[in-house]
Amino acid sequence: MARAATTSDVFNAIGHAHRRDILDALIGGEKTVGAIVDDLAMSQPQVSKHLRVLDEVGLVSWRAEGSRRLYRIEPTRLQPFHDWLANYEQAWSERLDRMDVYLKELQQQGGPQ
Amino acid sequence: MARAATTSDVFNAIGHAHRRDILDALIGGEKTVGAIVDDLAMSQPQVSKHLRVLDEVGLVSWRAEGSRRLYRIEPTRLQPFHDWLANYEQAWSERLDRMDVYLKELQQQGGPQ
DNA sequence: TTGACATATGCTTATATCGGAATATGCTAG
DNA sequence: CTAGCATATTCCGATATAAGCATATGTCAA
């Protein structure tokens, strides 16, 4: 077998730097494909293809205006990522708690020999 | 050209489901390679390779204990994710604000027709 | 309708992995 | 030193894209 078939997965979508660049470029608000092409140094088909991936995953949406498309970020779709991160932060703080308990025990016992 | 050479990039590292699975398996604390192999249904070489990637990116670290290796998560390396997400949360809340303003306008006007 | 512009799509090539199997390395016990 | 276990590494074939180029599609203006 080969690479895991994980396309159309939010994590995979943001796993590529160019797509993160595109998302970053959209932080200020909706933008035209051409504007993104100008902002970043990418070819138009390249941008369109990455936008397609981002759209399939739901990270961006668009509306037509004449012959242009205005793309915008769909920040709510970052929720899975957010949730994923939260697990580790919880694990981390629990770990700090345990360390805290340990340190307090040491204090009560007068410290290690 | 082909796929962007973005290995040894934290975002790329978590872009693959199996590596996220491994990280999840390590949430409870440090674990042996063999333990991970048992937990997830993956071959030992497969797990070792993914651990290598995660290690190169700094998302895990390990200590030797006899002939075993105990791997653990390195939560501080999650900071880039946190920072990146923070940008979009701002965009997100701004969007909620705009929606709020819009809703208030509707209220003052007596609602849409 | 034609022309010009904006964007999407199809085709091709190059390449980065992924996964599997076999093997190497490292450590410990006896 | 040898056997055996735990893990890493190498070699391999398969495949999923990424990027480039050319082209199709769609929209507006005249």
pLDDT tens track of chain B, all 113 residues? 444 444 569 999 999 999 999 999 999 999 999 999 999 999 999 999 999 999 999 999 999 999 999 999 999 999 999 999 999 887 777 766 766 776 676 666 654 44
Q: How many CB pairs under 8 A join A and B?
A: 76
C8 C1' – B46 CA distance, angstroms?
38
Rg (chain B; Cα; Å): 22
Answer whether A16 sits within 8 Å of B17, measured CB to CB. Answer: no
In our burial notation (b when 16+ CB lie closer than 10 A, e otherwise), range B23-47 reads: bbbbbeebbebebbbebbebeeeeb
* Sheet with A31-32, edge to edge strand ranges: A31-32, A68-73, A60-65
Distance from CA of B92 to the nearest CA of A (A): 6
CB proximity B7–strand C (7 Å threshold): yes
Q: How many CB atoms lie within 10 A of CB B91?
A: 18
CB contact under 8 A, A16 and B15: yes
Look at B15 and A24 and tell me if their CB atoms are within 8 Å.
no
Average pLDDT, chain B: 86
A67 in contact with nucleic chain D (CB within 7 A): yes
Closest B-chain CA to A82: B85
β-pairing, A31-32 vs A68-73, is: antiparallel
CB contacts of A15 in chain B (<8 Å) are 6, 9, 11-12, 14-16
B96 vs A: CB within 8 A: no
Distance of CA B72 to the CA centre of its chain: 15
**What is the reported pLDDT for A94?**
72
Residue A19's H or E segment, with its range, is: helix A17-25
Closest nucleotide relative to residue B51's CA, C1' based: D8
pTM exceeds 0.75: yes
- B85–A75 C-beta distance less than 8 A: no
Pick B85's closest partner by Cβ from A17, A85, A95. Answer: A85
SS (H, E, C) chain B: CCCCCCCCCHHHHCCCHHHHHHHHHCCCCCEEHHHHHHHCCCCHHHHHHHHHHHHHHCCEEEEEECCEEEEEECHHHHHHHHHHHHHHHHHHHHHHHHHHHHHHHHHHCCCCC
Query: Which tokens in the block code for residue A4?
Result: 């895991």
CA–centroid distance for A68 within its chain: 26
Q: Taking chain A (113 residues) in consecutive chunks of 10 residues, what is each chunk's mean pLDDT? A: 58 96 96 98 98 97 97 94 90 74 74 46
Cα separation values, B27 from A102, B36, B60, Å: 20, 11, 11
- Answer yes or no: do A11 and B20 touch at CB < 8 A: yes
- Which nucleotide across the nucleic acid strands is nearest to B6, CA versus C1'? C16
